[in-house]
Amino acid sequence: MSGQSTTRTVPGGGSGTARAAGRTGQRLSGLAVALGLVLFLGGFAWGAVVYRPYTVPTPSMAPTIGSGDRVLAQRIDGDDVRRGDVVVFQDATWANVPVVKRVVAVGGDRVSCCQDGKLEVNGQEIEEPYLPEGTVAEFGAFPEVTVPKGRLFLLGDERSGSVDSTAHLTDAASGTVSRGAVQARVDAVVWPMDGMLKAPTGFERLGALSSPGPLRTVVAMVIAGAVLVLGGAAYGPLAKRAGASRARANAGSPGGR
């Protein structure tokens, strides 16, 4: 009896491992692609339901929104509008087309401009960092207006050239607009890609500000979905190739004796 031991390889063992690895890779690949499609299409569908795109044709909201900029505005009820919001509304006395302006006062507020070059709401001076650099609010000076219940007083950020509530002070509603005229609240400038609008912090002393919409979550879903679809589609072939390479390496190695 020889003192040497013999080790034998199992025929087809390498190929079986490769096939198992290939099947696992295909399952994971399919799962990633399916989940990615759900996130990708779900994000787009959610965004289409919640948001409306608008193109702003004038510079009256500069520098927050420039002429020709493309914005995404969240569909909201007029009752949800708060001070500082940039909204899209349509009113027959304002040419009856969608208009984008900033809400500076709501029903019951007293608003005027300007002492010390600043907007005043309910006797408080409002810091407005969104105004063009080097300008003051007094470009759009106007006497005190008490905003009727259920209505809004709106100004453009470019006060010197904006046709806003100050241009309609002689109207029956003193330049104000019904909350029901609001169609949406602007969340972000998407072209050029300036991103989310900054919070109008100067109005915090008068009440709570509006919370941003779900745009960041929608974008994250779309990006994550795209990554999973592309990654999943690539993973299956790569896993299959890696399994085949391992099988060839196992088949080419001699059995130990």
Q: Which of 49-58, 59-68, 111-120, 203-212 has the lowest mean pLDDT?
A: 111-120
pLDDT band, very low/low/confident/very high, at 222 (cuts 50, 70, 90):
very high
How does pLDDT run across 118-177, given as a tens digit for each residue? 999 999 999 999 998 877 776 678 999 999 999 999 999 998 889 999 999 999 999 999
Q: Cβ–Cβ contacts within 10 Å for residue 253, how many?
A: 10
pLDDT of residue 27: 82
pLDDT bin (cut points 50, 70, 90) of residue 256 is very low
Sheet holding 142-146, edge to edge: 124-126, 118-121, 110-115, 142-146
Model pTM score: 0.82
pLDDT score for 114: 86
pLDDT reading at 48 higher than 80: yes
Calculate what percentage of the chain has a pLDDT beyond 70: 81
Dist. CA 106–CA 117, nearest whole Å: 21
Query: pLDDT value at position 9?
Result: 47
Mean pLDDT of 226-252: 74
Average pLDDT over residues 221-249: 78
pLDDT in tens, 75-133: 999 999 999 999 999 999 998 899 999 999 999 999 999 888 899 999 999 999 999 88
What percent of the chain stands above pLDDT 90?
A: 67
Q: Any bridge partners for residue 182, and if so which?
A: 89
Angle, vertex CA 151, rays to CA 150 and CA 156, nearest 5: 155
Q: How far is CA 125 from CA 119, 140, 174, in A?
A: 6, 15, 21
The mean of the pLDDT values for the chain is 87
Instruction: Count Cβ atoms below 10 Å from residue 12 Cβ, excluding itself.
Output: 11
